[in-house]
Amino acid sequence: MKKRLIGGIVAAALLIPTAAFAAPTLYDMIKRTPMTAEQVKADEVGNATLEKLYKAYPETKSFEIIDASNAKGDVLKPANPDDATQLKVNQTSIILQEKGGKGKKITLHTNGITGDIEHVNQENWEPASKPVINLSEKEIKAKVDDLINKMYGNAKVYEFAMEQMENPDNKVWMLNYSIKGAEAPFFQVFVHDNAIDLMRVGGEPVQKNIKVEGLFTRDGKPDHTYDSILNDDKLFALLKITPQQLKEELAKGKSVAEIAASKNISKQQVYDVIANTQVDIQLEAEKNGVVPNNNRSKEQMLKEISPKLAPILDHKNVTTKKK
């Protein structure tokens, strides 16, 4: 696991200006608008973020909001040059600290579209005489587990790995929390100095019904995210097509929406099918304790998942033109 930051970390890091491992050159391209404490509390996403924090850590109700902002914009997502895409950014960031400007500090970065808190940074929650980085490995894991338990749910449902990163100038521990069978971590955590820096880099429940891989490819490899969404029996039934036939049609450079249109099926019908399937999978995973329970209704989840699924219907494989 040494030095193995997952691929998605770049997208996550560019949203995090205060993180120890951020990517400021990409982040600088995003417009950030300052927010006052009053604006944060009046903002739907900001207020919901504070409520989640206060429920997890009641003591933070007395903390002051020392900085807050919202970032919106489009950034060119690192990808195959032949398939460059824009990453839409909408993020609300809030920093709170104990009154007096010293002591405990916590930073939250929330996805402005889904309302998910994607990054939490705890600073100075341990005495200066014994910062978190100087605790034993067992104690560090207990501190991180407590943060996950309070902010996201049961840390015990994840497989766990911990390793010290190679950094001669600064001692850093990297902790990965993964859903069993998943290729990438659900949470990736860095512990350094007197800080715990936690990023939610996963989020999609593991799906076991893959009938055919490589419906779409990225960098010459199957795109497992798209595979897990489009390998949907209800979608195959709606399109009256087999998994292999869908793969063959997509390989010709067609989109799912175009394939549906050729059969007089609307894009909305396709979206309704895959959206309901994905939300049902998420609800089942929450019910069985595989992922944290976010206490959201199915209607809320269907609304939140729209930005994630909509681009899939129009996506096309990049076909190599013959010379």
pLDDT digits (tens, 9 = 90+) for 143-195: 999 999 999 877 887 889 999 987 667 889 999 998 766 667 889 999 999 99
Question: Does 314 score more than 80 pLDDT?
Answer: yes
Q: Is residue 139 part of a domain?
A: yes
Question: Does 33 score more than 80 pLDDT?
Answer: yes
Q: Is residue 267 part of a domain?
A: yes
3-state per-residue secondary structure call for the chain: CCCCCCCCHHHHHCCCCCCCCCCHHHHCCCEEEECCHHHHHHCHHHHHHHHHHHHHCHHHHHCEEEEEEEEEEEEEECCCHHHCEEEEEEEEEEEEECCCCCCCEEEEEEECCCCCEEEEEEECCCCCCCCHHHCCHHHHHHHHHHHHHHHCCCHHHCEEEEEECCCCCCCEEEEEEECCCCCCCCEEEEEECCEEEEEECCCCCCCCCCCCCCCCEECCEECHHHHHHHCCHHHHHHHCCCHHHHHHHHHCCCCHHHHHHCCCCCHHHHHHHHHHHHHHHHHHHHHCCCCCCCCCCHHHHHHHHHHHHHHHHHCCCCCCCCC
Give the residue numbers spanning the domain of 303.
Answer: 217-314
- Pair (23, 92) in one structural domain: yes
Mean pLDDT computed over 67-88:
66
**Domain end marker among 170, 200, 230:** 200
Q: Is residue 321 part of a domain?
A: no
**Domain end marker among 146, 171, 200:** 200
Mean pLDDT computed over 195-205:
80
- Pair (68, 104) in one structural domain: yes
- Pair (20, 88) in one structural domain: yes
Task: Give the C-alpha distances (Å, rounded to integers) separating 264 from 229, 250, 291, 294.
Answer: 22, 17, 37, 37
- Pair (298, 184) in one structural domain: no
- Pair (160, 223) in one structural domain: no
Q: Is residue 131 part of a domain?
A: yes
- Pair (169, 253) in one structural domain: no
- Pair (263, 115) in one structural domain: no
Percent of the chain with pLDDT over 70: 77
Q: Per mean pLDDT, which range of 14-18, 30-34, 210-214, 241-245 is the poorest?
A: 14-18
- Pair (237, 135) in one structural domain: no
Q: How many domains does the chain have?
A: 2
Look at the block and give the residue holding tokens 């029996």.
233
Does residue 43 or residue 306 have the better pLDDT? Answer: 43
